């Protein structure tokens, strides 16, 4: 499948064009808590992706761009009405827009995690954990279906139903309602990325016979990029499902 998208060259944006570029995302502890409550209460679990989410939000400041190549018009520029992908403030604008939308629909924002929202209606409850444009929806089946219908009415969405994967987590539910979270897929991909699939498993992290010396000023410093990448990838697994390796 081939896709094309008009984007903005954010690397050419002046700092005067935007105030805030960041947007919060749900914490892993929040998502694990929701999975635990789903298993305890036999709640349904859904994953809904809002497609092209950023362009649903308005910009907080006027922003102009040149016509894309092949569509130029002499002496004219485009005034953006929506937060195109590539604009620095797009993530923040989308977060503010979606927060207002959820509040208007009756959701209450959590005080412990700004990206978790709760809706209670008719004795049923539904939680939505927001990770940019991915929505983990957990709660009573009837209310969850209503929430998904509300999203589909206002946005173009992709409904995955009960997910197999979410943010690097492998999700499965047993017949007794229990939920299993793992990161086998993520860890295998990480091992392949760092060429460690067939690496031997040492008993110690460093050769005990290795003689270490202090680097002199005329020696080039070692490139720590690979080491930091490996440690960062391991930390994500450690803080998600594998605290035993931390």
User: Which stretch of 13-17, 73-77, 89-93, 140-144 has the lowest confidence by average pLDDT?
Assistant: 13-17
CA–CA separation, 139 and 34 (whole Å): 9
Whole-model pTM: value is: 0.86
Instruction: Name the band, by pLDDT with cuts 50, 70 and 90, for residue 205.
Output: confident
Tokens found for residue 80: 């953006």
pLDDT in tens, 126-182: 999 999 999 999 999 999 999 999 999 999 999 999 999 999 999 999 999 899 999
Asked if 108 contacts 118 with a C-beta cutoff of 8 angstroms, the reply is yes
pLDDT at residue 106 is higher than 80: yes
pLDDT of res. 33:
95
* C-alpha torsion 211→214→216→217, nearest 10: 150
Terminal CA-CA length for the chain: 40
Helix axis angle, 225-240 relative to 184-193, nearest 10°? Answer: 170
Alpha helices in 113-161 (DSSP H): 141-154
For residues 40-69, give the mean pLDDT.
92
pLDDT at residue 16 above 80? no
Q: Report, as an integer, the average pLDDT of 68-86.
A: 88
Query: Which tokens hold the place of 77?
Result: 């520029």
Most confident of 56-70, 72-86, 141-155: 141-155
Highest mean pLDDT: which of 2-6, 36-40, 220-224? 36-40
């Amino acid at each position: 499948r081939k896709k094309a998208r008009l984007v903005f060259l954010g690397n050419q944006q002046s700092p005067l064009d935007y105030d805030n570029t960041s947007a919060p995302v749900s914490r892993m502890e929040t998502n694990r808590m929701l999975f635990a409550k789903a298993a305890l209460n036999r709640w349904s679990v859904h994953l809904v992706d809002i497609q092209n989410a950023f362009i649903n939000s308005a910009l907080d400041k006027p922003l102009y761009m040149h016509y894309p190549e092949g569509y130029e018009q002499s002496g004219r520029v485009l005034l953006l009405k929506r937060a195109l992908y590539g604009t620095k403030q797009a993530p923040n604008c989308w977060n503010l827009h979606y927060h207002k939308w959820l509040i208007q629909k009756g959701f209450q924002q959590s005080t412990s995690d700004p990206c978790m929202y709760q809706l209670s209606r008719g004795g049923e409850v539904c939680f939505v954990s927001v990770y940019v444009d991915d929505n983990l929806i957990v709660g009573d089946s009837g209310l969850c279906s209503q929430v998904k219908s509300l999203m589909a009415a206002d946005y173009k969405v992709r409904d995955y139903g009960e997910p197999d994967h979410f943010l690097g987590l492998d999700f499965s539910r047993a017949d007794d309602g229990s939920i299993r979270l793992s990161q086998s897929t993520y860890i295998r991909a990480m091992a392949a990325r760092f060429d460690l699939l067939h690496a031997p498993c040492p008993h110690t992290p460093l050769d005990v016979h290795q003689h270490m010396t202090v680097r002199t000023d005329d020696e080039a410093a070692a490139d720590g990029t690979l080491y930091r990448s490996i440690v960062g990838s391991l930390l994500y697994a450690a803080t998600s499902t594998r605290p035993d390796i931390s």
